[in-house]
Amino acid sequence: MSVALLISVFVVASCGLAYELVAGALSSYLLGDSVTQFSTIIGTYLFAMGIGSYLSRFVVKGLVARFIQVELLVGLVGGFSAVLLFMVFAWVGGPFKLVLYSLVLLTGTLVGLEIPLVMRILRQHYGLKDLVSQVLTFDYLGALAVSMAFPLLLAPHLGLIRTSLLFGLMNALVAAWAIWLFRNQLAGIKALAAQCFLVTALLFSGMLGAERLTSLAEENLYADEIIYTETTPYQRIVLTRWKDDIRLFLNGNLQFSSRDEYRYHEALVHPALQAIKQPRRALVLGGGDGLAIREILKYPEIEHITLVDLDPHMTDLFKRLPMLRALNQDALLSPKVSIVNADGFQWLDKSNDFYDFIVVDFPDPTNFMLGKLYTNTFYRLLEKHLSQHGLAVIQATSPLYARKSFWCINQTLQSVGLKTAPYHALVPSFGEWGYIIAGHRPYTPPESYNSDLRFVNASLNPVLFQFPPDMAPVETEINRLNNQVLVHYYESEWKHQAP
């Protein structure tokens, strides 16, 4: 019996940490700034566990029955936490943080009750020294197991909703196991068994309907019909459609609208590439949709393009789905294109190649993982791979809505010795959007462009490279790897913008 209870400690610890990780991941996905979300949720959760441990002293009778009921409550609350949070964010919005931290407090308090109750139940089998060492050993092993499994297996393959429901079921199974172990000692065993059956049935039903629950939440998050969803180890991919408008969302953030993406990508590629004499080799960092590559392939003198994108699911999707292949004109299937699925920072650090044209098309710096790709450390690597006559172009968020963020990126590029030429373009889906051309030599706008472009032409140059007063340069700090000031600028500026 004692061994069975110690195994239960392992499971209980796994479940407790899993709920904490689900809450942190989900809040990062919905609110951004992963460091802040995980830090505050972990702190609140540990505080709540302390409350639970303190409250356990007031449980004096029926320890096993109380332990079983706590397990069922943890399974029910923690198991359905992701579902509830998705629903609140999608349908209500405003009280999301209140619900989030209320759930974290409640779950943490219940989890804090578990281990003290188990230790008191096990006290009749072990001395104090062995009891503490055995329980804590299994507790830490359970935490280790789930901390490894969560990012590698659970979140990418099951998703957050199924993961939380799975661990809820595990709590319910621990309760059922305890009922069986103590079947000859429990008073009111039929009532406990009925409670266990009800909670297990609810959680199992939730597992069966998890995809539908996710769809219900996302149908309210996105205005248009959802036509494709996928959770990868790196992000949540959602495609929506309204009439002929296809939109791509990554972790809830719009990446493009098919109605006006040509404006974004023409502005991203052509002002720099048209100004390079005899470009041969191009590098695209990010841009797994192949839309920037589509524009680069309009230059027959380009001999080879290397695309580096972290997520193989993303590049595969845009090579596979007919509607997306039509959008990028089969750019990812071109014999000139080599696709590398790797972290852009690490890949660039290991590469020895030089490029005449580099496109840096990463998502906005919404968190520190992305923010490192906008630091002077990263731009120093970028500078080393740029040929002397070459140019790089960086998407740099909006100079109107995130003015300090835009000029921080410009300042950071200059800090590594690159000459910069900031510019902007109106993309209706995003508003005024900013880009920065960087090179070893000062940039001169081209006098002409390819005739088949729909947006960019020579007469547009004065508009692109001039900034009105509300987008004019402002003083900022340099974005360094150890401070990531850009992420703070970005979060502060965008949270004041209307959705």
Task: Tell me the β-bridge partners of 231.
Answer: 236
Delimit the domains of the chain by residue range.
Answer: 2-218, 256-494
**Over 70: is that where the pLDDT of 34 sits?**
no
Task: Indicate the pLDDT class of residue 3, thresholds 50, 70 and 90.
Answer: low
Mean pLDDT of all residues in 413-436? 96
**Over 90: is that where the pLDDT of 149 sits?**
no
Average model confidence (pLDDT) across the chain: 89
Number of helical H runs and strand E runs in the chain: 19, 11
pTM above 0.85, yes or no: no
206-256 pLDDT tens trace: 888 877 777 776 776 777 888 998 878 778 889 999 988 999 998 778 899
Residue at token pair 């007919």:
322
Going 331 to 237 to 272 to 260, the CA torsion angle's sign is positive
Question: How far is 408 from 485, CA to CA, in rounded Å?
Answer: 9
165-178 pLDDT tens trace: 999 999 999 999 88
Beta carbons within 8 Å of 98's beta carbon, 6+ residues apart: none
Q: What is the pLDDT of residue 456?
A: 94
Are residues 287 and 476 in contact, defined by beta-carbon separation less than 8 angstroms?
Answer: no
Q: For the chain, first and last CA: distance in Å?
A: 56
Structural tokens at position 8: 């239960």
Helix (H, G, I), strand (E, B), or coil: what is residue 207?
helix
**Catalytic: which of 139, 289, 361, 364?**
361
Task: Indicate the pLDDT class of residue 153, thresholds 50, 70 and 90.
Answer: confident
Size of the chain in residues = 499
Structural tokens at position 53: 């441990």
318-334 pLDDT tens trace: 999 999 999 999 999 99
List helix spans (H) across 304-450: 312-320, 322-328, 344-350, 368-371, 376-384, 403-415
Q: In the chain, pLDDT over 90 holds for what percent of residues? A: 59
Are residues 289 and 257 in contact, defined by beta-carbon separation less than 8 angstroms?
Answer: no
Are residues 419 and 436 in contact, defined by beta-carbon separation less than 8 angstroms?
Answer: no
269-307 pLDDT tens trace: 999 999 999 999 999 999 999 999 999 999 999 999 999
Mean pLDDT of all residues in 370-381? 94
CATH node for 2-218: 1.20.1250
Active site residue 361: yes
Are residues 371 and 479 in contact, defined by beta-carbon separation less than 8 angstroms?
Answer: yes
Sequence letter at residue 363: P
Are residues 268 and 300 in contact, defined by beta-carbon separation less than 8 angstroms?
Answer: no
Going 102 to 137 to 165 to 69, the CA torsion angle's sign is negative
Question: How far is 316 from 336, CA to CA, in rounded Å?
Answer: 17
Q: What is the pLDDT of residue 60?
A: 84
449-463 pLDDT tens trace: 887 899 999 999 999
Question: How far is 357 from 290, CA to CA, in rounded Å?
Answer: 16
Q: What is the pLDDT of residue 386?
A: 97
Q: What is the DSSP letter of 448?
A: -
Q: What is the pLDDT of residue 499?
A: 45
Residue at token pair 């540990």:
46
**Over 80: is that where the pLDDT of 140 sits?**
no
Question: How far is 64 from 67, CA to CA, in rounded Å?
Answer: 5
**CATH level 3 topology of 256-494:** Rossmann fold (3.40.50)
**Over 70: is that where the pLDDT of 5 sits?**
no
**Over 60: is that where the pLDDT of 498 sits?**
no
Helix (H, G, I), strand (E, B), or coil: what is residue 499?
coil
Neighbours of 268 (CB within 10 A): 27
Please choose, from the candidates 245, 169, 242, 203, the residue with its C-alpha nearest in 3D space to the C-alpha of residue 83.
Answer: 203
Please choose, from the candidates 418, 467, 271, the residue with its C-alpha nearest in 3D space to the C-alpha of residue 359.
Answer: 271
Query: Measuring CA to CA, how many Å separate 270 from each of 198, 360, 368?
Result: 62, 14, 30
